[in-house]
Amino acid sequence: MPSLSTARRLHGFAIDGDSANDPAPCILRFEDDARRLFDELRQEAIERARSSRGLAGGWHGKTPGRALRLALVYELLAFGGGSGAEPRTVSADAMARAAGYLDYAAAMLDRVTAGLAIRRPEADAAVIARYIRATRASALNERELYQRPGWAWLRDSGRRADALRVLAASGWIRPAASSGQGRPRCDWDVSPRLWEAAR
């Protein structure tokens, strides 16, 4: 916890003035090394946000903003606890401290949410399952599914196969019996037990 002397130094931090000589916020810009560290953190956060889903995706997407605020806090705490002049930039040390803390926080988030994580095949299967329940469908045709408005994501054959595999493993659907020769129609029978359970 900051000491009384630290609080006094922070309270005495000079406030800038605008063109009318009215008080205005003081702007602390990045040192070059701090900017490079922030860019690395920002790129990594973007990649992690894109590869994550749900809560984790939202967390990583907001990491750059958190890093900016934390780096400023660390810079001002270093000034408040020291004896040097008021900072006019955010140092690489403050940025590194912010990044280190956010790495720790992200690791804790991963540990806490590990049992709640839903992979894309399960999330896609849930979308199809809701469609089955809403329409009380007795059969599915893959082509008809991905031609529905808003269902273009099912055109990816690998993604479609993964989602349908989850539904089949859960007993929701099974491959329809083949009729005749030629190319399979990619039909699936919906388990009638779904409607028995709903009665």
pLDDT digits 0-9 by tens, 30-72: 999 999 999 999 999 998 888 776 778 888 999 999 999 999 9
Q: What is the DSSP letter of 24?
A: E
> How far is the CA of 119 from the CAs of 19, 125, 185, in angstroms?
54, 10, 27
Report d(CA 194, CA 197) in Å as an integer: 5
Residue 99 reports pLDDT greater than 80: yes
- Percent of the chain past pLDDT 90, that is, above it, reads 45
> Quick check: 164 and 105 in contact, CB under 8 A?
no
Q: CB–CB of 96/102 below 8 Å?
A: no
Report the relative pairing of strands 89-90 and 16-17 from DSSP bridges.
unpaired
Q: Where do the domains of the chain lie, and which CATH numbers do they carry?
A: 4-116 (no CATH), 120-198 (1.10.10.980)
**Average confidence score pLDDT of the chain:** 86
Q: Where are the alpha helices (DSSP H) in the chain?
A: 4-11, 32-51, 54-61, 63-80, 92-113, 120-135, 142-146, 157-169, 193-198
- pLDDT tens figures, 13-30: 777 777 777 777 888 899
What is the number of alpha carbons within 13 Å of residue 153 lying toward its C-beta?
Answer: 12
Cα separation, 165 vs 33, whole angstroms: 49
The answer to whether 72 and 87 are in contact (CB under 8 A) is no
Asked which of 127-131, 143-147, 184-188 is least confident by mean pLDDT, the reply is 184-188
pLDDT at 9: 83
- At residue 165 the predicted structure's pLDDT band, cuts being 50, 70 and 90, is very high
